Structures are given as structure tokens and as C-alpha cells.
Chain A
Amino acid sequence: MIRRLLDRPLPATLTVVALLGVTAYGVSHFPRSVVVFMLFQASILLLYFARMPGWLKGLLTAGTLGVLMPILGAINGYYLEIAVQVGIFVALALGLNIVVGLAGLLDLGYVAFFAVGAYSWAVFGSPQANQIFGGGAFPVSPGWFFVFLFVGVAVAAGAGILLGLPVLRLHGDYLAIVTLGFGEVIRVLANNLDKPINFTNGPKGITPISRPPIFFEPVLRAVGLDASPNVIYPLYLYFLVLAVAGVTVLVNRRLEDSHIGRAWEAIREDQTAAQAMGVPLVRMKLLAFACGASFAGAVGVLFAAKQVFINPESFTFMESIGVLAMVILGGMGSIPGAVLGATVVTVLNLQVLKGLSLWLNELRNAGVTILGFNLADLPTQLEPAKYERMVFGLILVLMMIFRPQGILPAKRRGRELRDG
């Protein structure tokens, strides 16, 4: 029934608009209810599935993400935080989607590029760089943040090529293990390069990292808004993340149908055949690594600015697998799939597991008795929020067994990726 409703433009538009309105109203009235916020997110998903003219869908999407979401975020800041996280992971998942989904190169060390981007801004956007060059010239002025978005892209792309060059000859599972090793090497370096020269400040991490400047402040003042930075920054970061994620989606869509995207898919399906048809293997594989890495680099810069503090703990193997789980859940090689996967996994981790944790804590504190068992005796170590790995693991195994093509499979999905 839902499908039939969504297939006809007029009822679909009306339903989606109504649902968005009702759920948004719900969120504004029950700002603490996780369920209501998830219903709102579900309506956004329906918007994607609904059949309606392209311009209308674009308008509605822009309105929802550009107006509705910030308003809801102003009501409950935590939702904005979730939206920012979702945006960051959407961009990461899309980057990995190029490497794993399109080119079929299983990269288990993807978070290394994210780390490279994050550290490139963290070092120069904080007093940390003074430790390297001496003097007191750093941090650079916050305006450089926008330059560093591109520096992050360049540095990460360079790291991608650096990794890509030696592993060009490797296939499938060996490639996976080497990229895993590369990811670990980067993390160990970040953890230990506080001596002999202090590059990364080791496990203590780097802080304070400059945030991007509020260059539009005069405009705000001109229209009579005099908000404090504490109010502006979450919204500002949200729009920055939205812009980066949007650009990522756009670039991905352009790449997918370009001759480069087709070459990647040819390599994924059959490397030997692709080479025989004249696909330059070396150049295309390096390009895939560099492209995938560059998105992670840009997001890394943004992440460092958002967190103000970073340390190597944010760049563990678990993060790589988390992003991989997003790509696989949505469907390897599928752009809407990667977006959906990133959203679902992030929401699962930040909302569902955390919600369960809070709920369990309340039960524990209330000392409710169920079937003669006093919940106050529940082990305190039992915290659902700490079980991210279990979620990632279940996603990977269940998807591989039951639906290896993902929730929203790519349209042009031929044989499965067979060879690295």
C-alpha cells in the first residue's frame, strides 16, 4: 500500500509533506523523545523514495535539511550533533564507496586518511606547530581553515597514492590486510610521534584547535541578530558539514557515470578483461585510492575543527570497520545506499544504543523488580552504548549472508566484486 501511495506523485508529495510536518511538530513538542526524532528521520527517507518531479524533491530536501533540521536542532542541540555526525559519516562512507564499492579494492585502513586530514588542520590550527618550527607564529588565523580544507584533500590524496603505489600488485584479501596494516601504522605514528620531535603530541592529543571564523558576523548584526558563538557554532558547523556532504554526493554522482567511474567498475568486475579493453590499471587504481582518500581528508579537517580536540583514539581500526559496515549495509557501489547506511549506523550508535543505555540506567536506579529479579543488581558494566562492535559485526555478517548487494543496491550491479 505504501508503495502504491509513493508511486503516484500527488499523493506521495502530500503524504511526505504531511509526515515531515507532523513529525517535525512532534519533535518540537517532545524534544527528548528519541522515537519521535527517528520518525522524523524516517520521513526524510520516504521523501527519497517518493515519486515526484525532480525540482520538487530537490526543493523539499533543501527545505528539510536546510531549514527544518536547523530549527529542530535549535530546540534540542543533541539532534544537531547527531545530524553533524551523520553528515561526517555520509561523506566518509561515500569516499570509501569509491574505493570498495566502485573499484572493488577492499580498504580496511580507510580511517588513516581521515586521520591525516584531521591532523593536518590540528597541527597548524593549534599552537602544536610551534613545537615543530619553534617560535610563536601558530596557530594560523582561523581563516586558513578554508584553505586547509583543500590542504587536507591534497595531503590525504597524497597518502592515498603513497599507499596505492606499493599495493598495486596485491589482490583481494592480501590488499585488505596490507591496508589494515597501513591504518595501524598511521595510528601508531600518531600515538608516538611526540618524540624526538613533537609532531602529534602523542596519546594526549592536540587542543585547542581553531574553529572556522564566523565571517558572516557583520551580516548577522546588520539584520539585528546578535547571537553568541555558542549558539552559532553548532548551526554553522552543521551547514559546513551539509555543504561538504552535499559536494561529496555531487562529485560521486558525476564520477559514477563518467569514463573514470566506468573504468573502476570494469576493474572491479574483471581486472584482466578491463586491462585488455584498454583501461589503464595503474592510473585508475591510484585515482580510486586518491579520490576516496581526499574526501576523508576534507572531512578530517572539518572533524578536527568541530571537535576542537583530537587524539589517536578517534582513528582506530574500529572506525574503519564502522565506515565499511555503512557502505555494505547500504549496498557497495550505491550512492543512496552509502548515505542511508551512514545514517542508519550513526543513528543506531548515537541514538538507539545510547537510549538503551540510559533506559537501563534508569531501571537500575529505580530498582524495579521483574520476575523476582531486582534490576538494581544488573551489572554496572552492562552498557549497551559500548557495544558498537557487536552492531558492526552483526551488520557485516547478516548482510553478507542474506543480502550482499545491500539495502539499496546499485543500479548497474553486475557480478559481485571478485578480485582485488
Chain B
Amino acid sequence: MDFELLIGILPQVLLDGLILGFMYALIALGYTMVYGVLEFINFAHSEIFIVGAFVGVEILLGLKSAGLLDTLPWILVLAVILAAGMAVSGVLAVLVERIAYRPLRHAPRLIPLISAIGVSFFLQDAIRLFESVWHNAFNLVYPTMDALNHRFELTSTLDVSVKSLVVIVAALLMLWGLHVLVNKTKIGTAIRAVAEDQGAASLMGINVNRIISLTFLIGGAMGGAAGVLFGVQYGLINPYTGFIPGLKAFTAAVLGGIGNIPGAMIGGLVLGLLEAFAASYLSLLTGGAFGAEYKDIVAFSILILILIFRPKGLLGEIVRERA
């Protein structure tokens, strides 16, 4: 075994893992916030996430055909697509909650979960339908922006592109913003109150429905931002792309302790790093017998093991046994 090679690629693997991890963390926030408040897995979050990516690509394609893509400053373009992606995904999440979840809020637990799976499937094909009619294509490629693809060579074996830095910076900013919002503001207090006890919160004069909508808005917006960043980072998207990252982000949320915001971030980073390690080292360590294809199995095995041995996750509170 070539140890020099193994050590040599380590920094790059760590960097890739970090980028992937921040992406998972952003998506995981949507799962974890909703779970924290409603104890419900918003299965459709993976589609809310990919809708953000589609909003981004539509705007970029529009700018490109208008010839503006290379003349406008890239920061401005990025800010616009992020804002638009967040807005559309956030509103979509609120709509989904209003239509498909709210009528089922007092139903047995499996009922809203099944409804959420239905929404997820419906949205996948709804995006496909829209794009098929609009573009006659549903596999879309993000137009390249030269400024974003610029790479800084840190060492001879490690380089980092602007878009990767953007992912990390944007993710950190949003996580910090969310932390402040939830812990330092009045709205955040209301969200925590509703998560603790809906009945008591409403007696204290909190509009529970509005707070739940707000939770979906925030979670959806985070997902939308993650979608735009995903598109910028990886380029190719289609309506079904969101599913697997969504599932892994859910894994990250569970890994960190579902319902716990810092947990989602830590879970995302751990999962991203593990996956990057599996993708790069599995093939080297097994002499090519098992390759990067098995990274999904690594992620799901982690999920299964955590749920069995530590269902509360790394940072989670003890999950109550419900009858």
C-alpha cells in the first residue's frame, strides 16, 4: 500500500469532505427545525432543496441569454440567485405545510409521513413537467461563471476554487444567522416555546400556526440556499437529484441529534467527511475491490447503526418513548 499517496491526498479529501458536509448541514437544518417543532420528518424537504437549485439555474440561464452573466459582478449574481432560491423554496415549504401537513396535524404519526412522501414524489414530477414544458429538457446544467471557477493553489497537492469557498462562507453565515435568530430574538423564543409545548405556547399568546409556518419558511429557505450552492458547486441537476442528498442530510440530522441545530451542523460535517474518506480511500485500501460507489452504503450504514445504538444522536436529547 502506498502510504505516501494516502497521506498526500488527505488535505484534498478533508476539503472535499468539508464542502460536502456544509452542504449537508444546510439541508439538514430544514429537517431538524421541522422535527424540533412538529416531531415530523418532512420527507419533501429534498425536493424543496432541489427547487432552489432550479430557481438558480433559471435565473442564470436568463441572465446568460440576456448577455449579462459576464458583465455583472459575480457577487451580485450570486446574491441574487441565493435570495431568489431561498424565497421560492421558503414559500414552497410554507405552501406544502399548509396544503398537505396542516390538515393532518392531529392524525396518527404515520399519516403525515406518508403524505410527505407523496408530496416529495409529486414535486419531483411537477418540476419535471414544468421544465419539460418550459425548456423541453429537465436535465439542466449551471452556466459556468469564470470568476467562480478560479482556483487558488494552496500547496502543490491542494487547491480550492472560489465556488467552494463560497459554499463554506455562505454556510457559516447562514448557520450563524440561524443561531442568532433562534436563540437571541423574540421570534426564536416563540419557536422554541412552540417546540416545547404547543398548547402552553398558544396560552401565552403565541400564534402556533404562524410560528409553524415560519419554521417551514426558514427551513425551506435554508434548503433553497443549499440547492443554489449545490448547483453552483456540482453543475448538473435534474428533478430527481435532490433525493439522495436529502436522505443523507436527514442522516446528518439524525447523526447530530434530530431537533438540535448545532447537532445538524456537526452531523453534516461528520457525514460529509466520512463520505469523502470512503469515496477516496475505499478503493485504495481494498485494492480496487470496492470503489467510491459504496459511499452511499457507508452513509446508510451509519444511519442504521446510529438509530440502533444511539437514537438520540451525538448531541440529541433523550427521545421520549411514545405510546
Contact = CB atoms under 8 A, between A and B. Distances in A.
A243 B151 CA distance: 64
Nearest to B258: A174
A390 B114 contact: no
B296 A400 contact: no
Given A389-B121, A400-B104, A192 B136 contact: no
Given A400-B111, A404-B111, A415-B108, A170 B297 contact: no
Given A396-B115, A419-B322, A379 B109 contact: no
Contact of B297 (A188, A270, A393): A188
A218 interface: no
A263 B312 CA distance: 30
A71 interface: no
B113 A173 contact: yes
Given A173-B41, A182-B304, A380 B114 contact: no
Contacts of A272: 323
B125 A390 contact: yes
Contacts of A108: 117
Given A170-B311, A177-B303, A419 B121 contact: no
Contacts of A169: 308
Contact of A397 (B41, B100, B108): B100
Contacts of A180: 247
Interface string B240-262: 00010001001100100000000
What interface size band does chain B fall in? 35 or more
B123 A393 contact: yes
Given A106-B113, A390-B125, A381 B136 contact: yes
Contacts of A172: 109-110, 113
Count chain B CB atoms within 10 A of each CB in A181, A272, A379 and give the residue with the most: A181
A109 B136 CA distance: 33
B277 interface: no
B138 A393 contact: no
A176 B108 CA distance: 15
B183 interface: no
B58 to A, nearest CB: 16
Chain B contact residues: helix, strand, loop or mixed: helix
B103 A401 contact: yes
Contacts of B125: 386-390, 393
Contact of B308 (A170, A188, A271, A328): A170
Interface string A303-335: 000000000000001100100110010000000
Interface string B125-148: 110110011011110000000000
A342 B131 CA distance: 30
Interface in B3-62: 40-41
Contacts of B110: 104, 106, 172-173, 176, 416-418, 420
Contacts of A389: 121-122, 124-125
A181 B303 contact: yes
Contact of B296 (A188, A382, A388): A188
Contacts of B231: none
A328 to B, nearest CB: 6
A8 interface: no
A382 B323 contact: no
Interface in B225-280: 243, 247, 250-251, 254
Interface string A195-239: 110000000000000000000000000000000000000000000
Contacts of A398: 118
B118 A195 contact: no
A419 B113 CA distance: 12
A166 B293 contact: no
A266 B179 CA distance: 44
A394 B138 CA distance: 21
Contacts of A181: 247, 251, 300, 303-304
B118 A166 contact: no
A253 interface: no
B306 to A, nearest CB: 10
Contacts of A325: 118
A400 B118 contact: yes
Interface in A368-419: 379-382, 386-390, 392-398, 400-401, 404, 415-419
Count chain B CB atoms within 10 A of each CB in A177, A189, A387 and give the residue with the most: A177
The 5 closest A-B pairs by CB, nearest first: A396-B118, A393-B122, A393-B121, A390-B125, A397-B118
Given A176-B110, A177-B307, A386-B128, 18 more contacts: A177-B41, A189-B297, A270-B323, A321-B117, A324-B117, A382-B129, A382-B132, A388-B125, A390-B129, A393-B122, A394-B118, A397-B100, A401-B103, A416-B107, A416-B108, A418-B109, A419-B109, A419-B322
9 contacts: A106-B114, A181-B300, A182-B304, A184-B296, A382-B133, A392-B121, A393-B121, A397-B119, A400-B112
